[in-house]
Amino acid sequence: MECDPEGLTGPLPQRTVPRDHHQVCMKGTKSYPVRCIELSGEVGGSISCNAYLVRASPCRNFGVQMQEDGSWTISNTDLIYCNEARAHFSLPPLIPEQPLLVLEPTPGFEPPAPKAA
């Protein structure tokens, strides 16, 4: 498992639940309503992760990834999941035209259309 009993090189075991035989995920991310135990603040406002440097591997593998050249990418699949979560909180979708995001080109991929106001 990827946990560290001291929380220095991985998440504290008591802050996680098993994801499979090798990985853990943070408590609150596998239950409903979803609310990670390490999330501070309110979604849509100012939020932060209390365990960012030692977050579980599903957290590290999901979403926006910083590249060695300083650019950012997000997989099309994660973008869809991210926008589904954002819609749940009535937040507008992230769209490829936003300067922060550099999408991996996938032929035929159509990002979700923004909701009409």
Closest separation in Å from C-beta 15 to ligand SF4 = 8
Closest separation in Å from C-beta 27 to ligand SF4 = 9
Cβ closer to ligand SF4: 49 or 102?
A: 49
Instruction: Decide the pairing of beta strands 47-49 and 102-103.
Output: unpaired
Cβ closer to ligand SF4: 5 or 108?
A: 5
The type of residue at 29 is T
Binding site for ligand SF4 (CB under 6 A): 26, 29, 36, 38-39, 49, 51-52, 55, 59
Cβ closer to ligand SF4: 58 or 93?
A: 58
CA dist 17 → 10, 13, 33, 48 (Å): 13, 8, 16, 20
CA dist 32 → 27, 36, 41, 63, 92 (Å): 11, 10, 18, 21, 22
**Contact present, 62 and 78 (Cβ < 8 Å):** yes
Closest separation in Å from C-beta 22 to ligand SF4 = 17
Cβ closer to ligand SF4: 59 or 113?
A: 59
Closest separation in Å from C-beta 21 to ligand SF4 = 20
User: Which residue(s) pair with 26 in the sheet?
Assistant: 16
